[in-house]
Each structure stands twice: as structure tokens, then as C-alpha cells.
Amino acid sequence: MPADPGAAAVAGAGDVRRPALVISNATVFDGSGAPRFTGDVAIEGDRIAAIAEGGTLRGAASIDASGLALAPGFIDVHTHDDRMLLDGGGMAPKVSQGVTTVVAGNCGISLAGLALQGRPPQPLDLLDPAGGWFRFPTFEDYFAAFERQPAATNAAFLVGHSTLRAAAMDDLSRAASPAECRRMCAAIDEAMQAGAIGLSTGTFYPPAAAAPTSELIELSRRLTACGGLYVTHMRNEAEAILPAIDETLEIGRACGIGVVISHHKVAGLANHGRSVETLARIAEAMQQQPVALDCYPYEASSTVLSASRLSMSSRVLVAWSTPHPECAGRDLAQVAADWGVSAEEAVRRLQPAGAIYFMMDERDVQRILAFPETMVGSDGLPHDASPHPRLWGTFPRVLGHYSRDLGLFPLEVAVHKMTGLPAARFGLNARGRIEPGAYADLVLFDPATVIDSATFESPVRPAAGIHLVMVNGTPVWRDGVATGERPGRVLRREER
Ligand SMILES: [Zn+2]
């Protein structure tokens, strides 16, 4: 509660001007993790103007939110939305969940930073299976395109290491030469000056797997002066996960920068249960240096289709295939049986393709999600024909399934993991909190009914229980329908 709950005036004392909108009698979750309270929230322009005791504020318009929860708009810290933000920009998979800000350019893959004819190499093709979208050689070019035709949500951007390698190198199967490193450093400088918030890497994937730690440190030093983050899909999330965590921590220490471990998981049957070890290592490191992490609330992962992951998975679903689009959504084992071939041969025939792998232990998923510092990121893949349901379901699933139904943590904590915590870790000022002066990025939902509807069988379905979503004070989703408004902004790195 504000110190003076009777402070209903929006402007100075004696000013009788009413705010444009008051959301009244809402159960307010302010994003800090503090206990919920019943209150009125006044919105003026793109900001929250005032907060007061329930039933005390009057606005030119009002919404009675009795029985509903009002939270800061959710921040999806791990996305591959670079192209969806430009491609129509309606962002339905995100706004339907209450997401008002996305962080794009993850896993070493940014759409900006590379101009290319034709298809990009895997996994850059996750953004662009058909080719033609890698046409922004600089971040300035990309931001200009965004701002000419804004998206429904706000977005902050990472510059992708694999994208830079594809732009700077003719052979991605080796370490970068000194000249190639200089070229990538110049590209990072450009991106950070334009307003990117950090560097992402995906050393798990072929375009970056040959990059030694020294290359990553040399590039990441460009982030030190400007306070950029190092955000990583680590080299290994299976048997060698501890050395991969140690490499990430080493890069952070060497450069004096914060690191973010993306979609933290322990993959493969042989590694089930090892989140006990990984979280202990991360918690210990947090005493010494800034470390953050995120995860998505599912026991299946999704990325390019690769035979190397078959033995680690109990089940594999085809998410998309260029030569065999009819296989999207089918079990790989069934496809192989129908064709009378081995799973490995089916993988070969389906290429290029994407897949969903059931390779995690639900107990690890819950342990990681419940870890106090873990943020929520969907890792949704918006261009897959039959996407992982995390694209449409992540945030309501944490609220409804994990918090309300399983009682993994209180709703205050669930909201904090998707609002105040990521805003602090990613430096998104005046976002992720309900307080006077903060941007009016808001979601109004029913805590009794909010739940994900997307499933592995039927993955493209808006969640239930999300009533109203506002971005910068403008409604983008109302009663199950997108409003068509596109008030989103590029959230540039604050000058430090
Ligand atoms: Zn990734």
C-alpha cells in the first residue's frame, strides 16, 4: 500500500482533474513479491498515476476489477520474437498471456546484425525457415523498422553471437581469427550504442560450438563499459552442465559483467535430478558475482531436429519440416514406422526441421522454477508449424498450474518472477512494478481460472482467464481478443 492511501489526487492538491482511467477494487500484485492488497490504480497517458485504497479513486473512465488480480505486464525474458515483432506485430501468442515486454535475440540468434541472401544456417533458421528476413545489417536498421511500424508489446534486444559469426566469418567450424573478432567487436559496439542490452550466445549450436572461451571473453569485454549482459544458451545442458556453468561464470568474472543462464534445465535421462547440483553451484556463485537464470515450465524442450538428441528423449514430436510439412505435430516414432525406416533415417529425410524433445524430469523443472532467483521465459518459437505449447501457455501455466493448483509458490512470488525480478535483472527501468510513475504495462486476470490452454496436441490456443492487457497505457488484449493496437516500444539500454 502507498503510505497515504487517501492520496487520490493525481495532480497536485486542489487539482480536481480526473485520471483518464481507474481500475478499481483490484487485488493488486505489485510485482515486488509483497503481499497482495485491494486497491484502485489510476492511469494517465502511458503511466500509472496513482494507487489508493479500493473504491476511493474516480476516473473519466473506470473498470470494476472486483475479484480480479491486477499485476504488472509480464516480461518474457527469453524469446525468439525478433521477426514476429516486425511481421504484423500483433504478438497474439504473447499479449494473450499478459506479456507486455519481450527480450529477443536469445541463444546467439538475433535477426539484426546480418544481411543474407537465402536461407540462414541452422539454428538461425528458427527465425526464418524460408529465408529473406535476415536483412538488417545493423541494430539501427532493425530498430528503425520496428519504430516505423511498432509491435503490440515492448521489446529489448540482445545481439546474437552466432548471427555475428555468420556475418563475420566464412567458416563457422573454427575459432574466429583476430581480424574476425575485431569485426564482431565493432558490430557489438554498434548494437550497444543503438540500444541493445547485451550479448547472447548459443555455444550449444554448430555455428558457435567452435568458439573457445577466449573468443567469448574477448567479445564480452565490449559489454563491460556499457553494463551489458552476457546471456547464454550454454555449451552443454546434459552430462557436462557443470563445466558449462563454470565457463559462463568465468566469462562474467573476466569481464566484470552480469550473466544470465538461459532456459536452465538438466537434459537427458542420465542427468535427471542434477538440478540439485546445478542450483547449488549457481547459488554459491551468486554470492560472488551477478548471476541470473530463467526457465520455461515444461518437461519438454524444442529446437532444431537432430539425431543426436534422440537417445536423450523419451518421446520426440516434429514441430516443422520443410520437405514434409504434413509431419508437423506428429510423433517421430510414428513417422519412422509409417515410412518403414529407422528414427535416424526419418530425421535425415525431414531436414531441415524442428522438434520437441521430452528429455527433462518434472522434479527438476519444479525445483528450478521454484528457485527464488529463477525468472520465467517462454523460449517460444513463433514460426514453427506445430510449436511447443510454451509459445502460448508459459505465463498462465506458471500462475494457474504451478502456483495455484500445485502450490509450488504463492501467487505473489509467481508474479514477481515474471515482472519485478526480470525488470531488475535486465535493467528495464520503470517496468515490472505497479507504483506511481511506472509505465502502465498491466494485466488483469482471474486468479481462480487463469490457466494455459495450449497443449502438445493442440498448441495454438490462447490461455484462459486473461481479461485485459495494457501496454504503455493502451489496451492490446481485451476479453479474449486482440484490440489491434500496437503501442510497443524498443526498450533501449539506459546510459550508464
Ligand atoms: Zn536456447
Query: In this structure, is residue 440 part of a structural domain?
Result: no
118 plus 236 within the same structural domain = yes
Proportion of the chain above pLDDT 90, given as a percent? 93
**Distance (Å) from CA 15 to ligand 1 centroid:** 51
User: For residue 71, how far is its CA from the centre of ligand 1 (angstroms)?
Assistant: 28
CA 146 to centroid of ligand 1, rounded, Å: 23
Alpha-carbon distance 97 to 382, whole Å? 14
Report the pLDDT value the prediction gives residue 383, as an integer from 0 to 100.
94
Residue 494 has pLDDT above 80, yes or no: no
Contact 232, 217 (CB under 8 A): no
In which band, very low, low, confident or very high, does the pLDDT at 459 lie, cut at 50, 70 and 90? very high
250 pLDDT higher than 70: yes
**pLDDT digits 0-9 by tens, 409-458:** 999 999 999 999 999 999 999 999 999 999 999 999 999 999 999 999 99
Pull the grid cell for residue 194.
543503438
Report the CATH number at residue 291. 3.20.20.140
Q: Determine the distance separating the centroid of ligand 1 and the alpha carbon of 25, expressed in angstroms.
A: 40
How many angstroms separate the alpha carbon of residue 261 from the centre of ligand 1?
10
Q: How far is the CA of 449 from the centre of ligand 1 (A)?
A: 31
Pairwise CA distance, residues 113 & 432, whole Å = 28
Q: Go through 159-170 and write b for each residue having 16 or more CB atoms within 10 A of its CB, e for each that does not.
A: bbbbbbbbbbbe
301 C-alpha vs ligand 1 centroid, how far in Å? 9
255 with 272, same domain: the answer is yes
Mean pLDDT, rounded, for 162-185: 98
Residue 292 has pLDDT above 60, yes or no: yes
Cβ within 8 Å of residue 66, ≥6 positions away? 24, 25, 26
> Which set of grid coordinates corresponds to residue 187?
558490430
The verdict on residue 124 lying in a domain is yes
Across the chain, what does the average pLDDT equal? 95
Is 170 part of a structural domain of the chain? yes
What integer pLDDT is reported at residue 17 of this predicted model?
72
Distance between Cα 399 and ligand 1 center (Å): 23
Strand partners for 115: 135
Going from the Cα of 122 to the center of ligand 1, the distance in angstroms, rounded, reads: 13
pTM of the model: 0.95
Model confidence band, residue 11 (pLDDT cutoffs 50, 70, 90): very low
Calculate how far, in angstroms, residue 375's C-alpha sits from the geometric centre of ligand 1. 15
Integer Cα distance of 418 and 409 in angstroms = 13
Task: Give the distance (Å) from ligand 1 centre to CA of residue 446.
Answer: 31
For 13-62, write each residue's pLDDT tens digit.
445 578 899 999 999 999 999 999 999 999 999 999 999 999 999 999 99
Select from 82, 108, 79 the least CA-distant residue to 204. 108
Is the backbone of residue 472 left (phi > 0), alpha (psi -120 to 50) or beta? left
Residue 197 shares a structural domain with residue 239: yes
The answer, yes or no, to whether residue 7 has pLDDT greater than 50, is: no
Q: How many A from CA of 357 to the centre of ligand 1? A: 13
**Could you tell me the distance, in angstroms and rounded to a whole number, from the CA of residue 211 to the centre of ligand 1?**
16
Give the count of domains, the chain: 2
Distance 80 CA to ligand 1 centre (A): 9
Q: Measure 220 CA to ligand 1 centroid, in angstroms.
A: 18
Where among 381, 401, 424 does a domain terminate? Answer: 424
- The DSSP symbol for 492 reads P
Band (pLDDT 50/70/90 cuts) for residue 1 is: very low
Q: So what's the pLDDT on residue 68?
A: 98
Statement: residue 2 has pLDDT above 80: no
Summarize pLDDT for 135-166 with one digit per residue, the tens.
999 999 999 999 999 999 999 999 999 999 99
Rounded distance between C-alpha atoms, residue 402 and residue 410, angstroms: 9
Confidence of residue 5 (pLDDT cuts 50, 70, 90): very low
How many whole angstroms from 160 Cα to the centroid of ligand 1? 11
How close is the Cα of 380 to the center of ligand 1, in Å? 10
State whether residue 44 is helix, strand or coil: strand
What average pLDDT does this structure show over 322-339? 97
Mean pLDDT of 177-194: 98
From the CA of 189, how far away is ligand 1's center (Å)? 23
CATH of residue 327: 3.30.1490.130
Ligand 1 centroid distance, CA of 298 (Å):
14
The residue-averaged pLDDT of 204-224 equals 98
86, 119, 306, 352 from 122: Cα distances, Å: 21, 9, 11, 8
**Does 311 share its domain with 262?**
no
Where do the H-state alpha helices sit in 83-172?
92-95, 139-148, 161-168
Asked whether residue 351 falls in the same domain as residue 291, the answer is no
In this structure, the answer to whether residues 181 and 126 fall within a common structural domain is yes
Nearest residue to 138 (alpha-carbon basis) of 194, 207, 198: 194
Ligand 1 center from residue 245 Cα (angstroms) = 14
For ligand 1, the distance from its centroid to the CA atom of residue 319, given in whole angstroms, is 16
Cα of 106 vs centre of ligand 1, distance in Å, is 7
Residues 199 and 340 in one domain: no
Is there a single domain that holds both residue 294 and residue 327?
A: no
Distance 107 CA to ligand 1 centre (A): 4
User: How many angstroms separate the alpha carbon of residue 123 from the centre of ligand 1?
Assistant: 10
**DSSP one-letter string for 312-362:** G-SEEEEEEESS-GGGTTSBHHHHHHHHTS-HHHHHHHH-SEEEEEE-S-H
CA 443 – ligand 1 centroid, Å: 27
- For residue 472, being part of any structural domain is answered with no
Q: Percent of the chain scored above 70 by pLDDT?
A: 96
Residue 131: give the domain boundaries. Answer: 74-303+358-424
